[in-house]
Amino acid sequence: MLFHVRMDVNLPPSMPEAEAAELKRVERDKAQALQASGKWRHLWRIAGQYSNISLFDVDSVDELHTMISTLPLFPYMTIQVMPLCRHPSSIRDDDK
């Protein structure tokens, strides 16, 4: 199942810089591992915002929820999830 996910991050201004840097480092490692697994298919930054648009390819909504909710930055995110399905007018048979 494919999902389009928008994640907007809002770290508290009072968070110490060193704590924020470590949180971002751990988040990066986790995101890269999920990308390497093939579950997190694409990751794009939204220019000018601390936000991203991602495509996930998972077996269920529950799997997506578990993946997203275990991200280190999850407590600081506003997340929008949109399930995707192939459009009947698409000229492509795959996601390439």
Q: Tell me, what's the pLDDT at 67?
A: 96
Q: Tell me, what's the pLDDT at 89?
A: 92
Distances (CA, A) of 6 to 22, 27, 51, 84: 22, 16, 7, 13
pLDDT at residue 94 above 80?
no
Helices (H) and strands (E) in the chain, counts: 2, 4
Fill in the DSSP letter of residue 52: E
Instruction: Give the Cα separation of 75 and 20 in Å (integer).
Output: 13
Predicted TM-score of the model (pTM): 0.89
Q: Tell me, what's the pLDDT at 61?
A: 96
Per-domain boundaries in the chain: 2-84
CATH superfamily of 2-84: Dimeric alpha+beta barrel (3.30.70.1060)
Instruction: Give the Cα separation of 16 and 14 in Å (integer).
Output: 6
Per-residue pLDDT tens over the stretch 8-34: 999 999 999 999 999 999 999 999 999
Q: Tell me, what's the pLDDT at 33?
A: 97
